[in-house]
Every structure is written in structure tokens, then in C-alpha cells.
């Protein structure tokens, strides 16, 4: 993917407008009233957001123009589905939508399509591996995983190999205690740790509003790049509890940052 490209899909990215908060609010009120010109202006005013997201896919062999177009689709979906009553910044809502759209494109554009059944097998194996590791305090063998979920080790190996192709971080794996666990909950956030994007959000003040346990979970998850399973083992609670506390903490921080 070519970095530092000024013109993408015929758009001069060096001259993209940057909307102020009050401009965004005014435009969105017009969009809700059905103003198409306001919608176009809002899209153009958020194209920088798409640019910032596609930089995360710099290791991809896909053409930057294609990724930009797909990212714009995610942006448009975010605009059309954004609910101002959520009391969150538009960028907070839009970035996962844009990332998800690009992930789906990369997955669907890959040479091998991964079936739903293969994904389910792989997700069961990943979850069983984490559960057995937590229970026995050691990594299980393929035979133990196969016995735990009742699927042959050959089929598990094939399924795990198949999902090496790009998948959406927001695809659900399993529901545990009423809380849905996603692919992103099973992996360390090393890339974002290296890019120090959390630090750039100036969250120190927001984190001061958290209780001791919430503060510890956010620190372990986003500053040390640990998985929810690793955090659960570290502080002695279940992964489902970590998931609930993490969501509550992020909700509190978001409310503070958008107040």
C-alpha cells in the first residue's frame, strides 16, 4: 500500500476540509432533516477519518484507492446509522464501522473464502484452549482441545489455519454469562500499543474517574496489550466479569470525554 499518497480516488487529500465540532452538529441536524447537501458536506468533512484508518492497513497488499473507497462506504454507513442520543463523538462510533468494512473487504477479497462452519469450529477451539489453560494452568494439547469440544484434531487444525485470513475484530465468538465475546477480546492489542494511540487520546483525567478495579483492567488491556483472558487470570475473576467491567469503564470514560 503506497504511503503518503496525496491524490486518492481523485481526491486531493492535502486539501480535505476539517470540520469544527459546532459545524458537525449543525450539519447533522440538517442531515436528520433530510438535507442531502449537508450529508455530502459531512461525508467530505470526515474523509480525514477514513485516511487515518486505512493507515492501519499499511501492511496490506491492497491498492490504497480500493481501501479508501471501502472505508468511505463504512463512513457513509456510520453517518446513516449514527444516533446522536448515544452521547458519544461521531468518530468514536465511526472508526469501528470503517475498520469493520475494510476487514470484510479484505476477508471477502482473499483467495479462499472461509465458511461459517469453519469459523465456528475455530472459535470453539480458541475458546476451549483459553478455558482449559485457565483451568489447568498450562496450555492444552490439540488432543485435549479436540476432546473438550468433540471435534477431530484434524478438523480443528484445518479450521484454525483457515481463519488466518483477515477477519473482522467485531465478529462474535461465544456468549458467556449474557456477554458476547468478540474476536478482539481474544487477542493482544500489540499494534495499537506500539502506535501509542491510547496515550494520544489524553485519557489520564478520564481514568481518574474509574474505581481501582476498572482502572487496573483498562491499564492491563490497553496500555499493556493483554487479552481479556490474561487480565482475568491476573486479577482472579472470570473473563465475562472482565468484559462487563471493561465496558462499564469505557462507557464512563466516554461520557466524561464527550461531556
Q: How confident is the model at residue 90 (pLDDT cuts 50, 70, 90)?
A: confident
223 vs 250, higher pLDDT: 250
pLDDT surpassing 50 at residue 95: yes
Please tell me if the domain spanning 7-108 has the same topology as the one spanning 190-257: no
Q: How confident is the model at residue 258 (pLDDT cuts 50, 70, 90)?
A: low
If one counts every other C-beta atom within 10 angstroms of the C-beta of residue 22, the result is 8
Handedness of CA 242, 247, 252, 253 (dihedral sign): positive
175 vs 160, higher pLDDT: 160
The domain defined by 112-167 folds into Arc Repressor Mutant, subunit A (1.10.10)
Q: Where are the domains of the chain?
A: 7-108, 112-167, 190-257
Q: What is the mean pLDDT of the segment spanning 38-67?
A: 82
pLDDT surpassing 80 at residue 141: yes
Cell output for 80 = 446513516
The whole-chain average pLDDT of the chain stands at 76
**What's the confidence (pLDDT) of residue 180?**
54
58 vs 248, higher pLDDT: 248
pLDDT surpassing 80 at residue 259: no
The CATH number of 7-108, from 3.30.1950.10, 1.10.287.110, 1.10.357.10, 1.20.120.1810, is: 1.20.120.1810
pTM for the structure as a whole: 0.42
Q: How confident is the model at residue 7 (pLDDT cuts 50, 70, 90)?
A: low
Domain covering 190-257 assigned CATH 3.40.50.1400 in the classification: no
**What's the confidence (pLDDT) of residue 191?**
45
- What is the tens place of the pLDDT at every residue in 73-83? 888 888 888 88
Which residue, chain included where needed, has cell 477479497?
A: 109
Determine what percent of the chain is predicted with pLDDT higher than 70.
Answer: 71
pLDDT surpassing 70 at residue 169: no
Q: What is the mean pLDDT of the segment spanning 146-170?
A: 74
The full 3-state SS of the chain, as one line of letters, equals: CCCCCCEECCEEHHHCCCCCHHHHHHHHHHHHCCCHHHHHHHHHHCHHHHHHHHHHHCCCCCCHHHHHHHHHHHHHHHHHHCCHHHCCCHHHHHHHHHHHHHHHHHHHCCCCCCCHHHHHHHHHHHHHHHHHHHHHCCCCCHHHHHHHHCCCHHHHHHHHHHCCCCCCCCCEEEEECCEEEEHHHHCCCHHHHHHCHHHHCCCHHHHCCCCHHHHHHHHHHHHCCCCHHHHHHHHCCCHHHHHHHHHHHHHHHHHHHCC
48 vs 224, higher pLDDT: 48
Amino acid at each position: 500500500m503506497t504511503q503518503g499518497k496525496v491524490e486518492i480516488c481523485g481526491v486531493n487529500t492535502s486539501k480535505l476540509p476539517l470540520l469544527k465540532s459546532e459545524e458537525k452538529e449543525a450539519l447533522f441536524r440538517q442531515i436528520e432533516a433530510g438535507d442531502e447537501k449537508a450529508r455530502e458536506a459531512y461525508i467530505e468533512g470526515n474523509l480525514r477519518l477514513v485516511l487515518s484508518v486505512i493507515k492501519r492497513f499499511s501492511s496490506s497488499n491492497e491498492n490504497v484507492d480500493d481501501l479508501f473507497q471501502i472505508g468511505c462506504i463504512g463512513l457513509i454507513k456510520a453517518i446513516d446509522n449514527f444516533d446522536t442520543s448515544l452521547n458519544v463523538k461521531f468518530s468514536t462510533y465511526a472508526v469501528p464501522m470503517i475498520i469493520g468494512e475494510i476487514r470484510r473487504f479484505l476477508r471477502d477479497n482473499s483467495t479462499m473464502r472461509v465458511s461459517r462452519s469453519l469459523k465456528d469450529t475455530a472459535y470453539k477451539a480458541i475458546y476451549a484452549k483459553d478455558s482449559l489453560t485457565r483451568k489447568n494452568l498450562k496450555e492444552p494439547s490439540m488432543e485435549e482441545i479436540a476432546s473438550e469440544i468433540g471435534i477431530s484434531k484434524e478438523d480443528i487444525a484445518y479450521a484454525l489455519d483457515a481463519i488466518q485470513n483477515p477477519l473482522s475484530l467485531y465478529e462474535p465468538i461465544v456468549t458467556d454469562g449474557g456477554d458476547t465475546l468478540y474476536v478482539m477480546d481474544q487477542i493482544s492489542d500489540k499494534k495499537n500499543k506500539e502506535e501509542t494511540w491510547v496515550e494520544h487520546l489524553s485519557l489520564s483525567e478520564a481514568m481518574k474517574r474509574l474505581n481501582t478495579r476498572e482502572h487496573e483492567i483498562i491499564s492491563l488491556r490497553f496500555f499493556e496489550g493483554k487479552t481479556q483472558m490474561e487480565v482475568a487470570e491476573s486479577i482472579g475473576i472470570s473473563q465475562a466479569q472482565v468484559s462487563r467491567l471493561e465496558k462499564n469503564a469505557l462507557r464512563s470514560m466516554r461520557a466524561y470525554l464527550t461531556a
